[in-house]
Amino acid sequence: MENKLPTIKEIAKQLNISISTVSRALHDHPNIGIQTRMRVQELAKRLHYEPNQTAIFFQQGKTFTIGVILPELSEAFFSSAISGIEDAAQKANYTVLMGQSHDSADKEKQLIDTMKKHRVDGLLISISKNTTNYEHFEALQSYNIPIVYFDRIPKIPNIHYVACNMINGTVQAINFLFKKGHRIVGMINGPEKLPATKERLEGYIQAMTKSRLKYDPALVLNCDLTKESVCAATEKLLSGRRRPTAIVTFNDYVALDAVQQAQKMKFKINKDVCFVSYANLPMSNYTAFPPLASVEQFPYQQGQKATETLIELLQQKTGDEAETTNATFYKIILESQLVIHEGK
């Protein structure tokens, strides 16, 4: 009892007209007379006809699907971002094929393969923190599959990307601390190679020099975001010669671990030492000592913008076939913004 789905062919046969007429009638092609058009559309409805998308994908050489590769959905940043992506994609009638790299370069490569196989029209990627080799990304270019990177951007020339400028936010954060009287401000930064890390550092330095304080490299430590390395960094900062009274951490998760470590060292949070961070997680409202302020990076908007950009690229592509000279690259920067929590 294989309840075969009705096809355009079936409709044609029942109405004794040609396949092409049916196809055109369903697309409201002006060449088709109003009456046949109606007859077709009615029968289609009656049979619950639905076009076979796989056939269309195949025929058109497009899947109206965009692939998304990101490190880790359980991080609030990315789950927000994917919502922005989904929403923007849906608006343009695209579908999303998603995969998590779990910060493994291998998994990432594998995902790219899968996506390529599935013939996604384009890709949105936030690279894993362990990716050092960018060949597999570049290979895609030759397949003519456009990529828009977001948030975690690889260091390769001539790419499209959407990111959030952390410099300003960092300056804001540090100025905020200055205003509250802090003079020695430490920083627990991220993995050295991440651009995000460099930006935070740059913001830090800018803020320092603007305030005519000297930049003391001993006050800025890197960590690899694991709990151990965060604790180590915290310990080192708080037992150093110049003990900071405030610390800027790479993100809210880092802040949480740093706070715990500081407590373990018998420091009173918000008294002996304060924390400011990045991300602005909703859960911060519930933690024992949320950071006094947090730099918002607008993940939803980043996802949205990246998707819109990609779709624009896709539409461009179908437009000017020959004009491959179209070598402009989108570099979209959103501004971060400090959000102050301490009011409550």
If DSSP codes are grouped into helix, strand and coil, which group holds residue 264?
helix
First to last CA, the chain: 65
Gap between the Cα atoms of 226 and 234, Å rounded: 12
DSSP symbols for 104-157: -HHHHHHHHHHHHHTT-SEEEE---TT----HHHHHHHHTT--EEEESS--S-S
Using only C-alpha atoms, the chain has a radius of gyration, in whole angstroms, of 26
Q: Is 314 a binder of DNA (CB under 7 A)?
A: no
CB of residue 9 to DNA, shortest distance in Å: 5
Report residue 232 CA to chain centroid gap: 29
Which residues neighbour 291 within 8 Å (Cβ) at sequence distance 6 or greater?
Answer: 249, 252, 255, 275, 276, 277, 284, 341
Q: Is 86 a binder of a second copy (CB under 8 A)?
A: yes
DSSP symbols for 5-27: PP-HHHHHHHHTS-HHHHHHHHT
Gap between the Cα atoms of 255 and 265, Å rounded: 15
Binding mask 219-258 for DNA (x = CB under 7 A): ----------------------------------------
Considering the complex, state which of residue 37 and residue 200 has its C-beta at the smaller distance from DNA.
37
The stretch near DNA (CB under 7 A) out of 26-34, 98-106, 134-142, 247-255 is 26-34
Considering the complex, state which of residue 34 and residue 322 has its C-beta at the smaller distance from a second copy.
322
Q: Is 205 a binder of DNA (CB under 7 A)?
A: no
Q: Which does 16 bind (CB under 5 to 8 A by kind): a second copy, DNA, none?
A: DNA
Gap between the Cα atoms of 187 and 200, Å rounded: 9
CB of residue 62 to DNA, shortest distance in Å: 10
Q: Is 317 a binder of DNA (CB under 7 A)?
A: no
Q: Which residue from 1, 2, 3, 59 is in contact with DNA, where contact means CB under 7 A?
A: 59
Torsion-angle region of 119 (φ positive above 0: left; ψ -120 to 50: alpha; else: beta): left
CB of residue 114 to DNA, shortest distance in Å: 16
Q: Which residue from 38, 156, 218, 283 is in contact with a second copy, where contact means CB under 8 A?
A: 283
Among all chains, which residue has been given the structure tokens 């800027």? 248
Do 251 and 189 form a contact (C-beta atoms < 8 A)?
no
Considering only residues 272 to 311 of the shown chain, the ones binding DNA according to CB under 7 A are none
Q: Which does 7 bind (CB under 5 to 8 A by kind): a second copy, DNA, none?
A: DNA
Gap between the Cα atoms of 137 and 124, Å rounded: 11
Q: Which residue from 1, 30, 144, 325 is in contact with DNA, where contact means CB under 7 A?
A: 30
Return the structure tokens found at 242: 């110049």
Considering the complex, state which of residue 57 and residue 178 has its C-beta at the smaller distance from a second copy.
57
Give the number of residues in contact with DNA, rule: CB under 7 A. 32
- Give CA separation, 56 vs 23, 61, 64, 128, 171, in Å: 12, 8, 10, 34, 51
Gap between the Cα atoms of 302 and 78, Å rounded: 10
Q: Which residue from 1, 3, 28, 31 is in contact with DNA, where contact means CB under 7 A?
A: 31
Q: Which residue from 35, 93, 144, 239 is in contact with DNA, where contact means CB under 7 A?
A: 35
Return the structure tokens found at 292: 């006094």
Considering only residues 122 to 141 of the shown chain, the ones binding a second copy according to CB under 8 A are none
Considering the complex, state which of residue 80 and residue 280 has its C-beta at the smaller distance from a second copy.
80
Q: Which residue from 99, 191, 195, 240 is in contact with a second copy, where contact means CB under 8 A?
A: 99
Q: Which does 158 bind (CB under 5 to 8 A by kind): a second copy, DNA, none?
A: none
| Residues in touch with DNA (CB under 7 A) | 4-5, 7-9, 16-21, 23-24, 26-27, 30-37, 49, 51-52, 55-56, 58-61
